[in-house]
Amino acid sequence: MLRARKLASAALTTCLVTAGGIGTTVLTASAAHAGACPTASQIVTDIKVIASGAGDLKSQLAALTSSSSRNDVQSAAQSTAAGLNTMSNDSAADASALGGCTELGSADSQTVADAFGSLAGATQQMLSALTGDHSFFAQLVVTAPIASSLRALEASLDAYAYALLAVAPSPQGAIAGSQSSIGSSLGNAIGVYGQICIPSPLYPTVQPVCVGV
Is residue 85 within 8 Å of 149, Cβ to Cβ? yes
Mean pLDDT, the chain, rounded, equals 87
108, 174 Cβ separation under 8 angstroms: no
Q: Report yes or no: 4 and 134 within 8 Å, Cβ to Cβ.
A: no
Range of the domain at 175: 3-211
Half-sphere exposure (CA, 13 Å, Cβ side) for 44? Answer: 13
* pLDDT (tens digit per residue) in 133-189: 999 999 999 999 999 999 999 999 999 999 999 999 988 899 999 999 999 999 999
Give Dmax over CA atoms of the chain in angstroms. 59
Residue 30's pLDDT band, with cuts at 50, 70 and 90, is very low
Reported as a pLDDT band with limits 50, 70 and 90, residue 121 is very high
What's the total number of domains in the chain? 1
User: Read out DSSP for 107-124?
Assistant: HHHHHHHHHHHHHHHHHH
pTM confidence score: 0.82
pLDDT in tens, 31-78: 444 458 999 999 999 999 999 999 999 999 999 999 999 999 999 999
Which amino acid is residue 163, in one-letter code?
A: A
pLDDT at 27 over 90: no
Amino acid at 70: R
pLDDT of 5 strictly over 80: no
Cα–Cα–Cα angle for 207, 128, 20, rounded to 5 degrees: 75
Is pLDDT at 1 greater than 60 in this prediction?
Answer: no
Please compute the mean of the pLDDT values over residues 13-28 and round it to a whole number.
36
pLDDT tens-place string over residues 79-106? 999 999 999 999 999 999 999 999 999 9
Cα angle 158, 32, 187; round to 5: 10
